[in-house]
């Protein structure tokens, strides 16, 4: 495999599709065992998790519903200057076991906002399932139940993840070159 140029950045092969699919299957099997009696609802966080979510769902062996949510950024005043609102959740999750499907957890702040929002809707429990985790970057205390792969701090694309909306369709995962 060769390097790939997207706009101003160069990316090199990092995780091959074969390994990704193996890890996704493993996570799906874990979830199927753990949540067999729980009638879970999966919430896929768009856009980045769409490919992970579809492969994960097809590997689950238990009845599973899925719904798709998205963050809309809006300007407002907060300590960080960034505000995010969750949109698209039309399903009632009260009393349900919810599994959040994310593409990548970096600082964990996005997931923290999401959990706070979901908690206001009175679910029975919330489990986090992420394709990728950057453990060295994690800033908040999160209980992450399912992690397909742990990676260093590199910026990555592929398998649903983008750089400026490009690269999502790459079957393998690529890491940016020379930016560590
Ligand atoms: P956090 O709030 O955990 O710092 O960031 C989570 C979000 O940042 C992810 O859902 C993703 O949109 C974006 N992100 C973090 N790291 C990467 C990366 O290496 N590649 C891409 N494409 N997006 C990333």
Active-site residue flag, 8: no
- Ligand 1, pocket residues at CB < 6 Å: 48, 102-111, 155-157, 161-162
CA of 25 to the centre of ligand 1 (A): 22
- Rounded CA-CA distance 97/118 in Å is 11
Tell how far the Cα of 105 is from the centroid of ligand 1, in angstroms.
6
Each residue of 101-129: pLDDT tens digit? 999 999 999 999 899 999 999 999 999 99
pLDDT tens digits, residue range 133-161?
Answer: 999 999 999 999 999 999 999 999 999 99
Q: How many helices (H) and strands (E) does the chain have?
A: 3, 10
CB atoms inside a 10 Å sphere around CB 55: 19
Kindly name the residue from 106, 117, 154, 162 that is annotated as catalytic: 106
Neighbours of 93 (CB within 10 A): 17
């Amino acid at each position: 495999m060769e390097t790939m140029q997207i706009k101003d950045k160069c990316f090199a092969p990092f995780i091959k599709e074969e390994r990704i699919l193996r890890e996704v299957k493993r996570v799906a099997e874990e979830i199927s065992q753990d949540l067999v009696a729980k009638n879970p609802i999966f919430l896929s966080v768009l856009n980045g998790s769409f490919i992970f979510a579809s492969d994960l769902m097809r590997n689950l062996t238990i009845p599973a519903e899925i719904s798709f949510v998205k963050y809309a950024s809006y300007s407002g005043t907060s300590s960080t200057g960034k505000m995010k609102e969750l949109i698209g959740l039309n399903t009632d999750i009260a009393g349900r076991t919810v599994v959040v499907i994310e593409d990548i957890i970096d600082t964990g702040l996005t997931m923290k906002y999401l959990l706070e929002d979901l908690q206001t809707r009175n679910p029975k429990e919330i489990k986090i399932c992420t394709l990728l985790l950057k453990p060295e970057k994690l800033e908040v205390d999160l209980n992450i139940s399912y992690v397909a792969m742990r990676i260093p701090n590199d910026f990555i694309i592929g398998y649903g993840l983008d750089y400026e909306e490009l690269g999502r369709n790459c079957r393998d995962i690529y890491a940016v070159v020379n930016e560590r």
